[in-house]
Amino acid sequence: MTDRASTEESLEPDGLAVGRAAHDGAVVVTVTGEVDHRTAGVLRRALMPVATGAAPHTVADLAGVGFMDSSGINVLIAAHQAHEPDGWLRLAGVRRPVLRTLELVGLTDLIRCYPGVREALDA
């Protein structure tokens, strides 16, 4: 069964737009904009699992993110840790400039990256 509840939070101008939607037992967080020290809090709130008693499963769709600094990296690490030990955080659609940063700091060894949301959900 596919859940379709969704919410959006936005920070303007030149900020970050974040949407959350339940999908097949997971939460898909769609992110658009730049992740830096001004916008990291919006991303953090969106990626933190909600206490439901079930293991949290989250896919962060980063296809709309063209820039991420160390603030975003810290958010991804904290979100990954918040999903442990029974849940998971997966990244989808990471664009090359952001992917390169994640690779340089070794984050792709910790959090799996997939070409798209469907692949991340099906993994």
* H helix intervals, 1-123: 40-47, 70-83, 96-104, 117-122
Adjacent-strand bridge partners of 6: 21
| Alpha-carbon radius of gyration of the chain | 13
Task: Encode pLDDT of 81-105 as tens digits.
Answer: 999 999 999 999 999 999 999 999 9
User: What's residue 11's pLDDT?
Assistant: 45
**List of the chain residues with pLDDT < 70:** 1-14
- What architecture does CATH give domain 17-122? 2-Layer Sandwich (3.30)
User: What's residue 50's pLDDT?
Assistant: 82
User: What's residue 2's pLDDT?
Assistant: 42
Instruction: Output the six-digit token pair for 94.
Output: 């990471």
